[in-house]
Structure 1
């Protein structure tokens, strides 16, 4: 999953999806209930970042442990992205940090034989990647933060992702 996050300078998960409220839930609880999101993303970057995320789609929606996951990212490279670009990725399970790692995004793209390779020229891109999700993923909510930087340590992109592999629940 982490390799997917750093893949092709555009790597990430998902678009937002919220389920609605049913009349039965309102009767049982006495008030409207919002069902928990199964996944979402927030572009936390600025309008001046060299990578501008347009959309992220996943299939299947929602993602399922033990199944293949295809992520399609549409983005615009506003400037050239060169060797030396990197991403800091952190994965949390609740308040517990499971992973903090820095990735060379150009090397990751080469290793994955991605369709977009460094140097990435200005323009619009759509990248799809399929990965096998392990069946052993804990049935829990994960928060993933991706902060990308250029070779000169300038901001490249910022993305906050949430994937809830937990059982269907309410909050």
Structure 2
């Protein structure tokens, strides 16, 4: 019986701790900003991102208020140089309305096959329908070399 309890305890630890260890750390754009949406972390699959293949960015967050809709602005920089910007409807990335509490914002992107490998920085802002800033975060991610034939 003790072996079963130990296995159950290890399984629970893996389920609770490992995802938070794998999540990318985020920095708020303004450390003094009192954003109504708090971001817990970002998971990227695959990591590093592979050119020519789909990447999924899952942002775990908590909202102190209900959100009926809005927009997400994404800006990506490579060695500090802007290389991509995009504005997306919030409700296309998560279920709306977002109730107060935990939610996940999930965005899929397929990078062009010729995307250079290296370190990138992504800045994401989320705004409500009335252009109220809900959150602003930055995080780093990597793009690896192009997909190999065996990845097909």
TM-score range, shorter chain: 0.5 to 0.7
Question: Is 1:163 matched up with 2:148?
Answer: no
CA RMSD of aligned residues (A): 2.9
Q: Distance in 1 between matches of 2:75 and 2:107?
A: 20
Measure how far apart 1:89 and its partner are. 2.5
Q: Which residue of 1 aligns with 2:24?
A: 15
1:90 to 54, 61, 75: 75
Superposed CA deviations along residues 84-137 of structure 1, whole A, max 9, x for unmatched, are x2233222222432234433323xx1xxxx5x3222111212455555444322
SS in 1 for 2:47: coil
Q: Distance in 2 between matches of 1:101 and 1:60?
A: 21
On the 8 A contact 1:49/1:78 being kept in 2, the answer is no
Q: Distance in 2 between matches of 1:57 and 1:127?
A: 11
Measure how far apart 1:149 and its partner are. 1.7
Structure 1 or 2: larger strand share?
2
1:55 to 20, 28, 41: 41
2:55 to 66, 69, 72: 69
Q: Output the TM-score relative to the length of structure 1.
A: 0.56
1:144 to 122, 130, 137: 122
1:102 to 87, 90, 103: 87
On the 8 A contact 2:37/2:64 being kept in 1, the answer is yes
Q: Distance in 2 between matches of 1:98 and 1:128?
A: 21
Structure 1 or 2: larger helix share?
2
Measure how far apart 1:47 and its partner are. 6.5
SS in 2 for 1:64: coil
On the 8 A contact 2:79/2:119 being kept in 1, the answer is yes
1:135 to 98, 113, 128: 113
Change (3 A) 1:44 1:165: same
Q: Distance in 2 between matches of 1:131 and 1:99?
A: 12
Q: Distance in 2 between matches of 1:89 and 1:66?
A: 19
